[in-house]
Structure 1
Amino acid sequence: MFYCLEKRLMMRRKTLLLLLFVLSIISTKIHAQNSEEPPLNDATLSALIDYALEHQPAVKKATIDQEITDLQVKNKLADWYPQVNFNYNYQRNFQLPVNIVDGNSIRFGVDNSSALQFTATQNIFNRDVLLASRTKDDVRFIAEKQVENAKINLVANVSRSFYDLLATQQQLRITEENIAMLARSLKDARARYDAGVADKTDYQRATIALNNAQASKRAIEEALRAKLANLKYLINYPEDRELTLQYDSATLENEIYLDTLSTAVYTQRVEYQQLQAQLRLQEANVKYNKWSYIPSVSANGAYIRNFQNNALSKLYSQGFPNSYAALTLGFPIFQGGKRKNNISIAQKQVEQTRLDIENFTNQVNSEYQSALAQYKASMANYLALKENMELAAEVHRIIELQYREGIKTYLELITAQTDLRAAQINYYNAVYSLLSSKIDVLKAQGAINVK
């Protein structure tokens, strides 16, 4: 009887444990699902940029580097504070040390000894700590600008990828509209052939055009998948999650304009600001090497309590304290010309950094002029292709009416449809190419703000 009761209790315990295990798994899955961020549906360019700035590993890595730099600066500055240490020592002498007194060997000491030591050191002048104190702002500034530079590059790359993807989507939309148009033309050409109004070459040409358009659609769809994958990669978006874009063609078209009379201000570029900070660090390094001729000075002191006894049990029964304070001055007298050479090296590094700044100012002007020239060329191309699209639409409308009236041949209609499709695709490519060119100009100007 007791055996059966015990068996039932064990079965109930196992059932209860199994139920708790299942509930914990379900709770974990529900929590994981709830903690997932919502997918980017109908995402605008600003939403993609915000997501990228928050999730992109390159930006996170630059931010971590900035945090590491800040901690390293704090470590260097910590040497200005008093350095307090405690040491504990215990020594068992199996053989006492021997001293010779008047020709006789005499052992001095005790079997057991111990010491408690409190020491403190305060730097008064130390060139390493002084350098860290004077350059801390520039070191942190460079790390901060490194994060800003990573964000600027990310914003520019995401914007270009966004515009490229939109251009491909427009190609797909126009191709689908063209396929629907060609399908209607094929149906109409077949009906005309069956009615004896036209020969079979019209619907055969329509079939060829439709097949070509469908093949073009498949190629565009594959390109669209690749570009969507690239955009997901840039913003660090999960590959298996849906991503749809939202845009307004009219709004984007209004954003293509740029003041082409403005000039590049190289002082706004992050790279220039980093070089200026680097120059200040190099100049501080010259002073640092000159300080090697100045003695290092530090104050130090200690409190030591010694314990000695032959009996281990009575070792700490009586202490013998001693303490001291001292001033330490260190001055290297001769180092084989090392200090002079280090000063010369530091001065030449300053000259190199100044040349880097001069070269960068020239580079900024070159980048800006190249980007501006590309923007102007893209603008001229955009205006021409916009007019071409409007003319192609008008030509297609007229030829389609004339074809239905029997004035124009089917070949002329197919040609007009092909011209219209090409003009539309070229126009949208020009729009998004112009927007990408604008991004390059703004980047060259240092006008992309990510703060």
Structure 2
Amino acid sequence: MRTVFISLILICFLNGKTVGQESPLSNYIEEGLDNNLVLQQKNLSLQRAMNALQVAKSMYLPAIDLDVAYTHAKGGRSINLPVGDMLNPVYNTLNALTQSQAFPQIQNETINFLPQNYYDAKVRTIVPLINTDITHNKQIKTDAVRLQESEVGIYKRELIKEIKEAYYQYLSALQVEGIYESSLDLAHEGLRANQKLLDAGKGLPAYIVRAKAEIAQIESQRAEAEKNIKNSALYFNALLNRAADAFIERDSTLFLEQNQSLQDGSEIDVSQREELLAIQAGIAMQESVLQMNKQYLVPKVSGFLDLGSQAEGLKFNQDSRYFMVGLTLSMPLFQGNRNRLKMEETKIDLAESWNRKAQAEQQLRVAAQAARNDVLAALKNYEKSKVQLEAASTYQRLIQRGYREGVNSYIETIDARNQYTSAKLSVNLSQLQVLAALAKLERESATFQIP
């Protein structure tokens, strides 16, 4: 078959599913989206933005507050009222005329400006009647939520790509270890064969030394492969926020061969990339700020209602109770052209954002096309590596048979085995490159359906 993995990979990886049932990789992706620490932090930021939006919406509702004030003072400024001096002569005359004491004498009064044993308790209700800032602020917070959602989506896609690449790397490392294990078995078999020939007087001691050196080299390579397995498993489990030694299930279906064509030269649509949506949300926020700045001359009108009681001596009766209603209006008259300058600054920010969006669209489009080219190149390299592996396998069998028949030397068998091992490693690396290239293409084209 000339096209390897493509149908399965296009269906499984570009659509995020496996054929028939969910693969271990799909479960690991879901686990990573649930448990990744960085993603959890970004979700918290999203919740904060959504809470800020709810606060902005609540600004339309009335605000009701309870205000209670109690004061008691002595001294300070005062005013003298000579009521006794003014009224006592009159009272004396009236008492003389009536031959009674019906009009007693009164003292002059001194009244302090500061109240004594005085309270004022009220419930104040304030309702915004005209305030364009509230509407614009709500829209800004709405766009802020969209921006944060896009940021979460960006990291999710990047995390999915990282999880896939780490999983492929782990499976590839396991295959490399298996290749070295197989090569080591062949090397041991070669050592036993040469030892038998030497014991029978037909072999050479140099072949024994060479066989042992080959075994030592392969064991060193196997140790390196074991280290790579541990490191790749460590990184993979860290992405999923799991224990470092957590078991990783293997998925053998990733390397199945299917038939599908990827020779589509049409331009990949990147308009729904979260990066562009984030920039668009930022532009919408700036446009709302600009509209808010343009309406700075619109007056802000609020209505208020006070229901309360105030009196000295903590009295509460019909005379102490009161209500008050009113309107407040606020609008700027002169602020040194600050509002006009703010509008100009926002317009410049908008122009920069539109330019940044155009640049991002161009870069994302180029990156998507390059990712598709990488997939096609990786598939071609894989096909070539398969041909090389088939040739190396045939060559190794012929040399091994020739060595048993005395036609080829032992050195030639070692060379044939090395070529065969290198060819298998090349196939393994090509498989990894195909899977990694497809994960990158999926990331650049944003085709994975994020749950």
Q: TM-score range by the shorter chain?
A: 0.7 to 0.9
- Bigger shift: 279-288 or 332-341? 279-288
User: Which residue does 1:301 correspond to in 2?
Assistant: 305
8 Å Cα contact 1:268/1:447 also seen in 2? no
**Structure 1 position 166, deviation (Å):** 1.2
SS at match of 1:189: helix
**Structure 1 position 412, deviation (Å):** 0.8
Give the letter aligned to residue 369 of structure 2.
Q
SS at match of 1:244: coil
Q: Are 1:158 and 2:191 matched, yes or no?
A: no
User: Which residue does 2:6 correspond to in 1?
Assistant: none
Give the letter aligned to residue 364 of structure 1.
L
Which of 265, 270, 295 is residue 269 of structure 2 equivalent to? 265
Q: Are 1:214 and 2:219 matched, yes or no?
A: yes
8 Å Cα contact 2:309/2:321 also seen in 1? yes
In 1: Cα distance, 2:80 partner to 2:371 partner: 89
User: Which residue does 2:47 correspond to in 1?
Assistant: 67
In 2: Cα distance, 1:203 partner to 1:386 partner: 32
Which of 51, 58, 68 is residue 38 of structure 2 equivalent to? 58
SS at match of 1:227: helix
**Structure 1 position 136, deviation (Å):** 4.1
User: Which residue does 1:94 correspond to in 2?
Assistant: 74
In 1: Cα distance, 2:254 partner to 2:364 partner: 32
**Structure 1 position 398, deviation (Å):** 1.6
Give the letter aligned to residue 29 of structure 2.
I
Give the alignment's TM-score, normalised by structure 1.
Answer: 0.85
User: Which residue does 2:118 correspond to in 1?
Assistant: 113
SS at match of 2:303: strand
**Structure 1 position 62, deviation (Å):** 1.2
**Structure 1 position 132, deviation (Å):** 2.3
Q: Are 1:384 and 2:384 matched, yes or no?
A: yes
User: Which residue does 2:332 correspond to in 1?
Assistant: 332
**Structure 1 position 95, deviation (Å):** 3.1
Gap change, CA 1:181 and 1:353, over 3 Å in 2: same
In 2: Cα distance, 1:249 partner to 1:196 partner: 50
Give the letter aligned to residue 71 of structure 1.
N
Give the letter aligned to residue 49 of structure 1.
I
**Structure 1 position 97, deviation (Å):** 4.7
Give the letter aligned to residue 127 of structure 2.
Q
Give the 5 Å matches for 1:129-278: 129-239=134-244, 241-248=245-252, 251-254=255-258, 258=262, 260-278=264-282
RMSD: 2.3
**Structure 1 position 317, deviation (Å):** 6.2
SS at match of 2:379: helix
In 2: Cα distance, 1:160 partner to 1:383 partner: 21
In 2: Cα distance, 1:394 partner to 1:125 partner: 86
In 2: Cα distance, 1:423 partner to 1:335 partner: 77
Alignment coverage as a number of residue pairs: 405
Unaligned regions of 5+ residues in structure 1, if any?
1-42
SS at match of 2:248: strand
Give the alignment's TM-score, normalised by structure 2.
Answer: 0.85
- Bigger shift: 273-282 or 52-61? 273-282
Give the letter aligned to residue 60 of structure 1.
Q
- Identity, % of aligned pairs? 19
In 2: Cα distance, 1:262 partner to 1:447 partner: 15
Give the letter aligned to residue 267 of structure 2.
T
For the pair shown, the structure with the greater C-alpha radius of gyration is 2
Q: Are 1:356 and 2:336 matched, yes or no?
A: no
Q: Deviations over 1:57-96 (max 9, x none)?
A: 1111111111110111111221110000001122222337
In 2: Cα distance, 1:249 partner to 1:422 partner: 24
